[in-house]
């Protein structure tokens, strides 16, 4: 595999649809041996959202991955705040921290739009999605509550529980919080209250990244979600992302989770 002279970190996002957890573990070990930055797992409990037969719980998968790796970071991309109460989410993430101390990252998202293909999960468990503005408010409230839980303080998220964190998390620090965003209003939330933002590769990506670059705070991390199966031009793409201020390129991979597929792109990071 060719090594790229780039400062962009290369991560792997493992889709859990029709997935074998042992295969995911093997893929994560191979990614770690190739110096990948982080292993992410999507938060979906139903394969129906992509026409698959089943899905896997992200925290079970990440716990198994954390147990068989030593250095690679692990994270959920992204936890659906409509389906997950912040106290339960904090408990799951903190449990992962107990296996992978200092390696955990927390991605959060505002949930699907009503009527979209992803809304089938919300319908299955009876959660109310609300319009875009309501979902963004819940995202802000959830992030506030999560930080309050780890900091043992009162949050501002009255709608999602602002109670103190007693008996929810241990003494581990709050992990970096990354917001998954596809539109500027959600990016603005990330810039204001999160540690980073993750955006998908779309036709509007360059414009979006340019705007983020003009407004991002110091130490704010920007990542792009792409596909492992669409990186024939990986060296040029990584160089372009670096020029646009991207810190991480996250490459999504769907089953079969075959280690040999990692040969399509070099995951190595080039440390200063």
Q: What is the structure's pLDDT at 233?
A: 66
- Percentage of the chain lying above the pLDDT 90 cut: 67
Pairing label, strands 221-227, 104-109: unpaired
**What are the tokens at 4?**
């790229």
E-strand ranges in 55-130 read 73-80, 104-109
The pTM of the full predicted model, rounded to 2 decimals, is: 0.90
The residue written with tokens 């540690």 in the block is: 195
DSSP state of 55: -
156 pLDDT band (50/70/90 cuts)? low
CA 261 from centre of chain: 21
Instruction: Tell me the mean pLDDT in the region 197-226.
Output: 94
Q: What is the structure's pLDDT at 237?
A: 77
CB 199 within 8 A of CB 181: yes
Q: What is the structure's pLDDT at 165?
A: 55
Torsion over CA of 190, 195, 198 and 199, rounded to 10 degrees?
40
CB 65 within 8 A of CB 25: yes
Q: What is the structure's pLDDT at 267?
A: 73
**What are the tokens at 98?**
């107990």
At the fourth CATH level, the homologous superfamily of domain 9-264 is Luciferase-like domain (3.20.20.30)
Show me where the domains of the chain are located.
9-264
**Helix ranges restricted to H, the chain:** 21-33, 58-67, 86-99, 119-125, 132-151, 184-193, 205-215, 234-243
Question: What DSSP element (H or E) covers 175?
Answer: none
Q: Is residue 31 over pLDDT 70?
A: yes
Cα 56-13-112 angle, rounded to 5 deg: 65
Q: What is the structure's pLDDT at 164?
A: 54
């Amino acid at each position: 595999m060719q090594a790229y002279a780039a400062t962009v970190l290369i991560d792997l996002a493992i889709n859990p649809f029709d997935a074998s957890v042992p295969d995911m573990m093997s893929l994560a070990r191979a990614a770690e041996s190739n110096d990948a930055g982080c292993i992410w797992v999507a938060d979906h409990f139903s394969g129906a959202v992509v026409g698959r037969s089943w899905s896997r719980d992200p925290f079970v998968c990440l716990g198994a991955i954390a147990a068989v790796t030593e250095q690679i970071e692990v994270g959920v991309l992204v936890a659906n705040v409509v389906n997950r109460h912040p106290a339960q989410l904090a408990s799951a993430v903190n449990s992962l921290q107990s296996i992978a101390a200092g390696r955990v990252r927390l991605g959060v998202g505002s949930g699907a739009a009503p009527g979209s293909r992803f809304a089938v999960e919300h319908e299955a468990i009876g959660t109310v999605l609300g319009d875009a503005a309501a979902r963004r408010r819940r995202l802000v409230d959830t992030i506030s509550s999560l930080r309050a839980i780890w900091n043992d303080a009162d949050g501002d998220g009255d709608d999602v529980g602002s109670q103190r964190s007693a008996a929810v998390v241990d003494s581990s620090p709050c992990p970096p919080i990354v917001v998954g965003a596809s539109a500027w209003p959600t990016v603005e939330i990330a810039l204001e209250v999160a540690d980073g933002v993750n955006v998908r590769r779309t036709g509007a990506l360059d414009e979006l990244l340019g705007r983020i670059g003009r407004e991002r705070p110091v130490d704010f991390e920007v990542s792009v979600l792409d596909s492992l199966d669409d990186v024939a031009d990986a060296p040029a793409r990584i160089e372009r992302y670096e020029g646009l201020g991207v810190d991480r390129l996250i490459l999504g991979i769907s089953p079969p989770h075959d280690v040999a597929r990692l040969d399509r792109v070099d995951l190595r990071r080039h440390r200063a």
